[in-house]
Every structure is written in C-alpha cells, then in structure tokens.
Amino acid sequence: MAVARSRLAGKITTLIVVVLIIGFGASTFWTIQREKDLVVEQHKASARQLTQTIVASIEGAMLQERPDVTRSMLQEIGGAMPVEGLRIYRRNGVEAFTDLATLRQVMKNAELSPAVLANIERMQRAPAAADTSPLFKRAVDTLTTQETVGQVNGVPTFTMLRPIENQERCQGCHGSDHRVRAVLRVDASMAPVVAELRHHRNRQLMIAALTILSAAVVLTAAMARVVVRPIRDLAAAARRVGEGDFEAQAPAGRRDEIGGLGTAFNEMTARLAAAYRDLETRNKELGSALESLQESRQRLELLEQIKGELSKFVPDAVKKLLENDPNATQLEKKTVEVSVLFLDITGYTRLSEQLEPRRLNQLIQLYFSSFLEIIQAHHGDVNETAGDGLMVIFQSERTATDHALNATRAAFAIRQRTGGLNEEYGGVFPPISLHMGINTGEALVGATKLAGAAGQRWTFSASGSTTNIAARMAASAGADEIIVGEPTAGRIRAHFVLEALGERAFKNVSTPLKVFRVIPPGVYEKIV
C-alpha cells in the first residue's frame, strides 16, 4: 500500500510540476524575449543616434575644409565608444583617409591650407580590406542606411552602413557626377547587451524555478491531505469488505466529491451485507435444486446415449424430418422422384460356406461401413440391409445435383473402394465382388407402420415399381457390373459411357425393359 501511495503522490507531484513548468516556462520565455527585444532595440537606437551624430560632424568638418579633423574624430570616437569598427569608405569600397586619392581630386576644384595638407599627409596608412558586401552596394545604390546583426572578430555586433550624400554644397570640391560621397560603417558591439540579457535571463529562470518549487511543495502537501489520505482510508475499508467484513465504513463527513465517494461506498457495503444474507438463503435453496438437477442430468445423459444408439438405425431423411418437426407423430408418405441403388455381394452363399459366421460378419461390417461414408458423401439414405446387400435411396431435395448422377457416382466409388479393400485385406479375407443395379422413377417415400399384437413398428422405405425394378437389375448384373434402366441412362448419358444391353424381361414386370451397363471411365472412348 505504501508503494501505491508513493506512486499516486509521485504522479500528482509530477503532474503539478509539469503544469507549473509549462505555465511559468511559457511566461518566463515570453518575458525574456520581450526584454531581449526591448534592450536590443534600445541599443540599435543608440547606435543610430551615434551614427547620425558622426555623419553630422563629418559633414560639418568637410564644409569647413578640415578633412584632417574628421580622421582624428573617428579615431577618438572609436577608442571611447563600445564599437568594434568605425570606418569611412569611398563609394568604390576602399577605406577613406588612408591615402591622398581624394585629396588630389579635391585639389582640382579647391585649395586647402598647407597645415591641413600636412596633417592629411601624416595620416596616410595602409587601408583596411575593401568592403564589397551586398549591403555596402545596396547602401551606395539606394542611398539608404543598411543594418545587420552579425559578428566581428568573434564579438556580436550591430552593423550600420550609412551613406553620406554628395550634397549640392559639397559638389564644389567633390564634383557632381555621383550621388554618394562616402559610406560610414559603424560596427557597434552587442557584447554589453548580451551580458545584460544573460543576467536578466538567469534572474528570471531563478525566480521561475523557486516559484515552481515552492508551488509544487505546497500543492503536493495539499493534495496529499485532501486526496491521497482519503483514498488511502477508502482503500483500507475496501480491503476489509473484500475480506468479508461488511460492517467496514469509509470516512464520509466531508461535503465534496471525496465525501460523496465515502457515502456511496458505505451505501454499497450496506447493500452488499443485505445481498450476502439473501445469497446465503438462496444457496441453501440452490443446493437442494442442484441435487435434483444432477439426478435429471444423469437421466438426460442416459436418454442421449440411447438416442445416439437409436439414431444409427434411422435414415438421414427421417432425421431431417424430425429435426424440422420434433412433435411429428406421423411420417406421411408422398410420391417423389428418386433413384434407387441395390447392391449385393456376388457368391454370398459360397462365401458363407467358406467363413464362420463371426468372420463373415466382420467382413460384411468392414466393407459396408466403408460404403456408408461414400453413400453419405453422395447424399444417399441407406434404407435396408439384408445380410449381403444394401438398398440406398437418392433424392434431389438433399442436393442440387441430380439424384441419378449421385447414385451412379456412388456406385463407382463403392466399386473402387471394394477393390482397394480386397487388396488391403488379401491375406485376411477372400476377395469379394459386387453386382449393382440403379433405377430412376417415382416412388412412394415415407414411413410404413407395421402393427400387431405385440405393438407397432415404423419403417422408412420407398415403395413401388421403381424400387422393385432396381432390385431385379442388381440381381441380373454380373460381378462388378453396374446395370441401369433407361430413365437413369437418360440422366447420366452426358457424364458416363454406357453400353446398351438391349431389352430384358424381369420377374413380376409385365414388359421387357431396356437396360444399360455403365462402363468404367477409360475403358471406352465413346458410347456404344
């Protein structure tokens, strides 16, 4: 529980600190940025004023024909003011007052005193690098002051390029073929500004950090008292309820959400206590009911077992009928079109003489069980088993495929399975062969009730001449032959090769019938 409390307190503290950091951080950043912009702008204004003063002084000295004074003034200002550079450039970018080029140009139009000439000659020195920057060119071309912030000798500076206009009163000495007489470059140092801004920033950050820390401590202590402690007490009461003590109560005297939570918790425990008492009463009742249910379940399992065993003897058509109407008391017969397949083991009498009854039953069970899988796969219902034979009914209502085609395919699959079983059990049982007959037509399909003194019995069958003829055809077939009647042949002719056997007379059939032998695939390439 201590770990849980520390986690909650830690989460609350972290949340408070994050909120304070975001709030005070944004405020502090905004304040620092405002101060920075203000101080920088003040510094720029001072630099502009200084530049304007220097330009005015230069123009005044030039009008008094004292260019030597201008040079001295620039040296004195550069040493006294916080500037990294203070130079005057001719309009071609070469530093002025370092050679006599301008003096020679002026001497063509005016006369200077010998003392001034001597001073200028003494000031000659190697010029600094020419200024070919885009800002310089823009200042000369546009006659407007250009400003930029950068670094000079590793020191942050505010650089101004102030064009000095070739005024009309100056053109007597300097000529009138150009607009700009010179460009004053002032590199005002920003180092004092940066230091001041750093000082202000550190002070603001310190104030923000102390404010955040103080607020976090106060708010964390308040949250621990107002939220964490009541939750801890509520958790303790909840553990007691979990252990079965429904008399446990949570603090509920406060008139806020925490107090409401405690009240709701106490109401819940009261309802739980009442429900627990009611549950004990119901458990006793359920115990008695459970004993009765167990007895009923055992009887139901017995009935399900009996049902499972009996369902093996019920055709699938009957199962489906009963599933659709479980309360059906009669399975009404109706006339439908079906295909009936009869199959018998060839030489069953001889086979029964070779094998003892138990082994003969094993053979029949082995082969016929295998046949059932094929019959069900082709949607057939086994109607009768008579020792060595099966009667199977195929109806189209169980599948979209024609029932005659299903019956023929099932017959071929049974024949193929018989060959496989003969090979597999060659040393165990003697090989067997089947003769099969298929006939298609209408039959009376449904339940037949047999009543007697001992009671009633229901059977499911397909009655009529269609079934009788199918049985006669199977009896007339040779070993491994599949004989079909003319109705069946007409339905399967597009899928199987048929051999016409002519007309045959069958017992209890008034007229001879055309019969056909179904040829296994691959024997003939065309219908005979």
Domain with 362 in it: what CATH number?
3.30.70.1230
Q: Are residues 145 and 271 in the same domain?
A: no
Range of the domain at 307: 252-312
Higher pLDDT, 158 or 260: 158
Q: Are residues 292 and 342 in the same domain?
A: no
Q: What is the DSSP-derived secondary structure letter of residue 93?
A: S
Give the helix ranges, DSSP H, for 243-334. Answer: 257-311, 316-324
Q: Which of 282, 312, 342 is the last residue of a domain?
A: 312
Whether residue 98 contacts residue 126, with contact meaning beta carbons closer than 8 Å, is answered with yes
Quick one: angle between helices 2-63 and 67-80, nearest 10?
160
Q: Is position 259 within any domain?
A: yes
Q: pTM of this prediction?
A: 0.44
Q: Which of 163, 197, 231 is the last residue of a domain?
A: 197
Q: Are residues 290 and 377 in the same domain?
A: no
Q: How far apart are CA 169 and CA 279, in angstroms?
A: 115
Predicted local distance difference test score (pLDDT) of residue 181: 75
User: Which residue, among 56, 207, 89, 85, has the nearest Cα to 151 in the 3D structure?
Assistant: 85
Confidence of residue 526 (pLDDT cuts 50, 70, 90): very low
Higher pLDDT, 347 or 102: 347
Higher pLDDT, 298 or 450: 298
User: Which residue, among 411, 388, 383, has the nearest Cα to 484 in the 3D structure?
Assistant: 411
Answer whether residue 152 shows pLDDT above 80.
Answer: no
Q: Is position 229 within any domain?
A: no
Tell me phi and psi for residue 341, to 5 degrees: -110, 125
Q: Is position 11 within any domain?
A: yes
Confidence of residue 230 (pLDDT cuts 50, 70, 90): confident
Predicted local distance difference test score (pLDDT) of residue 191: 77
Query: To the nearest whole percent, how much of the chain has pLDDT over 70?
Result: 73
H helices, E strands: number in the chain: 15, 12
Q: Is position 428 within any domain?
A: yes
Q: Are residues 307 and 184 in the same domain?
A: no
Average pLDDT over residues 382-404: 80
Q: Which residues, 6+ apart, have CB-to-CB distance to 456 below 8 Å?
A: 449, 450
Query: What is the DSSP annotation of 351-363?
Result: HHHHS-HHHHHHH
What's the token pair of residue 168? 């009309």
Q: What is the pLDDT of residues 405-422, one digit of tens each?
A: 999 999 999 999 999 999
Q: Is position 156 within any domain?
A: yes
Q: Are residues 179 and 282 in the same domain?
A: no
Q: Are residues 418 and 452 in the same domain?
A: yes
Query: What is the DSSP annotation of 367-407?
Result: HHHHHHHHHHHTTEEEEEE-SSEEEEEEEGGG-SS-HHHHH
Q: How far apart are CA 268 and CA 243, in angstroms?
A: 15
Query: To the nearest whole percent, how much of the chain has pLDDT over 90?
Result: 23
Predicted local distance difference test score (pLDDT) of residue 34: 79
pLDDT, the chain, mean: 78
Q: Which of 262, 284, 312 is the last residue of a domain?
A: 312
Q: Are residues 265 and 380 in the same domain?
A: no
Confidence of residue 315 (pLDDT cuts 50, 70, 90): low
Q: What is the pLDDT of residues 25-65, one digit of tens each?
A: 787 778 777 777 777 777 778 778 877 777 777 776 666 66
Q: Are residues 56 and 152 in the same domain?
A: yes
Largest CA distance in the chain: 166
Q: Is position 226 within any domain?
A: no
Q: Is position 215 within any domain?
A: no
Q: What is the pLDDT of residues 440-494, one digit of tens each?
A: 999 988 776 666 666 666 667 788 899 999 999 999 999 999 999 999 999 999 9
Q: Are residues 347 and 457 in the same domain?
A: yes
Min mean pLDDT across 51-65, 297-311, 318-332 is at 318-332
Q: Are residues 15 and 101 in the same domain?
A: yes
Q: How far apart are CA 129 and CA 183, in angstroms?
A: 14
Answer whether residue 4 shows pLDDT above 50.
Answer: no
Q: Is position 490 within any domain?
A: yes
Q: How far apart are CA 368 and CA 410, in angstroms?
A: 13
Q: How far apart are CA 51 and CA 186, in angstroms?
A: 7
Confidence of residue 78 (pLDDT cuts 50, 70, 90): low
Min mean pLDDT across 142-156, 168-182, 404-418, 510-524 is at 168-182
Q: Are residues 294 and 367 in the same domain?
A: no
Residue 12 CA, distance from chain mean position: 33
Predicted local distance difference test score (pLDDT) of residue 493: 92
Domain count, the chain: 3
Q: Are residues 304 and 404 in the same domain?
A: no
